[in-house]
Homo-oligomer: A and B are copies of this chain.
Amino acid sequence: MGHGLTRHQIVEVADDLFYRQGFEHTSFADISSLVNISRGNLYHHFKTKDDILDAVINVRLNRTQHMLTSWEEQGKTPKDCIKSYIKILLTNWSMIRNYGCPVGTLCTELAKLNHASKAEANKIFTLFREWLRGQFTELGRAQEADALAMRVLSWSQGVATLGNAFDDLKYVKQEVEKMCDWLDTL
């Protein structure tokens, strides 16, 4: 199992394809052709497709953690931080529009496949949940912090799903505004 540049590229490409095409729909041929290595060579780096998935989930967990940390560094108040989360609906709109929310769609796909890594994928949701809970706690809402975190999570999930289905940027913009307004009333 390599740990070098090629392996890194494989995970990067797989991450992208799993998001855009779905895990199951992505083949070894898809990945290897984009990395410019042979199919057989892929197996030198990863024994199975499930191994690639685990590596992808790990990368997503790390990337999410870094994003959350950088939001905390940039935002002055907890509300600023939470708004950074809300606004990814717009920041990533060009992707969400076509492929939905990367977290939600992976979790639902793995749920249907009854995949062994389903629990790992769910951890990405948990990461967001606990971070949001922390922000609401800092806001002085310790008692209802988890419920508020879930509220923000589910709101954005719903908007991502419907924004994707109806391909409606205007709607997403309105909802993002509503969410920010709602947050300001807290």
Contacts and interface: CB of A to CB of B under 8 A. Distances in A.
B159 A154 contact: yes
Nearest to A164: B111
Contact of A166 (B20, B105, B125, B155): B125
Could you say which interface size class chain A belongs to?
Answer: 35 or more
A157 interface: yes
A63 B8 CA distance: 47
28 contacts: A20-B112, A21-B112, A22-B24, A22-B109, A22-B112, A24-B24, A24-B25, A25-B112, A25-B113, A99-B111, A99-B112, A100-B108, A100-B111, A104-B108, A104-B161, A105-B112, A122-B165, A122-B166, A125-B162, A125-B165, A125-B166, A153-B162, A154-B158, A154-B161, A156-B158, A157-B158, A157-B161, A158-B158
